[in-house]
Amino acid sequence: MPVSPSVVIGVDSSTQSAKAVAVDAATGRVLGLGRAPHTVTGTGGARESDPEEWWTALVTAVRAAVRDAGVDPGSVTGIAVAGQQHGLVALGADHRPLRPALLWNDTRSAPQAAALADRLGGHGSWLERTGSVPVASMTAAKWQWLREHEPHHAEATAAVRLPHDLLTERLSGEAVTDPGDASGTCWYAPADGAYDPALLDLLGLTPAQLPTVAPTGATRAGGLTAAAAEALGLPRTVAVAAGTGDNMAAAVGLGLGAAGLLDHPVVSLGTSGTVFAATRARPADPALAGFAATDGTRLPLGCTLNCTLAVDRFAALLGLDREDALPGGETVVLPYLDGERTPDLPAASGLLTGLRHTTDPRAILGAAYEGAAFTVLRALDGLLAACGLDPADPAVRARPLRLIGGGARGRTWTDTVRRLSGRPLVVPAATELVALGAAALAAGASTGEDPVALATAWGTGAGETLPALARDEETWERIEGVLGAAAAGLLS
């Protein structure tokens, strides 16, 4: 009878769903995949989810992945969760959620973010302390919103967790997080590797309300609790890693970090658009999140709120298939349907300009792609500059972008990014890089090996290289002009 390989499970608990991969720990081969949806509710800037649904979805996805893999559950040796960043989970004395979680793309906390950014010495002080200036997405701003708008819930909060923290605690029984996800709260100091006492005092939080910060996301938090083992159908001997945030896990899955590639920029096209690079530099730019990576390096990141979902909404409004697009021509779309984080315009709405009687609806959809891609690539230019690189330097532009996320599978997305960036692209063959990064963390927790080195050996970041196209300067300058006019209030 064949012997089952040693199997590790990586979970990507994202905004929209839970995805779990069962992976051969020796080769990185995906043996099985499971999915389960999440529900997001809210209007007028509110975006919330029930954390209990995250747990139910995780259980469903993990069981499906093990079943799909066809392996003996006893062969599973490790599990790790990578979760959507910044979400605020407020737990009561019974350790159950007091209310739905406030998600990263909930923009109601923009006034609280602005007020916090002006405290404790202003932007420079926040950059020095946390690497980031508070914006609406950051957990500190959401906690402050809760204190001001729902003081009864804030006062009843016995514990504060990020999404991946909550799930890791359900698995292991241990309240633990990692430096990567903790660095997205705006109350953790990456340079010190600890929570900042002055910021906790400002926010009315105590260390007792927060999880312990493990040295890395691959740190073993413990084994499965009896309840978790029964729910998942797995042995209690399974090592539970501390886990991390989704962007940090994607970096691991790409082999970025101290044991792999450094300073290789990544563009991720998903619900949000993100740009990041694993680096030893410590850029200080208020437009960037100065995150820590899960392995001790830095992971500066720029994030846009409106990416694939916004473009899909334009396709639906126009009655078009998402791939039925043409270049925008003189039509410009700023698809800021949820406000925008980069640039920091939380109250913005979508803008369409340049229409003629002869405008083809497919060009409007193409302009939505261009507006979303422009916003992401503009954030990339800011990231490179903050790391001491000139985005216009031919040598810098010759360095490939790693394109990941759901959009990387779309022809129009890849064509638009190539045209507006003027750079070669590497599109990894692996489709679940966040979950694969989490699987590498799980393997690290069970074996003690470096997860970035494991992912590099697995080859999960390898893929097709698309050569550079000539940069479409005309379209870039047209969109940049409309954004500048809109930000100055010259368009309505």
Among residues 165, 178, 196, 246, the one annotated as catalytic is 246
Residue 12 known to be catalytic? no
Amino acid letter for position 385: A
Q: Reduced to 3 states, what is the DSSP secondary structure of residue 180?
A: helix
Cα–chain center distance at 327: 28
- Show Cβ contacts of residue 335 under 8 Å, excluding neighbours closer than 6 positions: 306, 310, 311, 313, 314, 350, 368, 371, 372
- Show Cβ contacts of residue 287 under 8 Å, excluding neighbours closer than 6 positions: 302, 342, 343, 344, 379, 382
How many Å from the N-terminal Cα to the C-terminal Cα in the chain?
A: 70
Phi, psi dihedral angles at 104 (to 5 degrees): -55, -35
Kindly give the residue spans of alpha helices, DSSP state H, lying in 278-428.
308-318, 361-386, 394-397, 411-421
Nearest-angstrom CA–CA distance, 38 and 271: 13
Residue 233, sorted as left (phi over 0), alpha (psi -120 to 50) or beta, turns out to be: left
Residues in the chain: 492
Residue 381's alpha-carbon distances to 69, 178, 268, 393, 397, in angstroms, are: 41, 28, 15, 11, 10
CA atoms within 13 A on the CB side of 83: 33
Q: Mind telling me the catalytic residues? A: 246
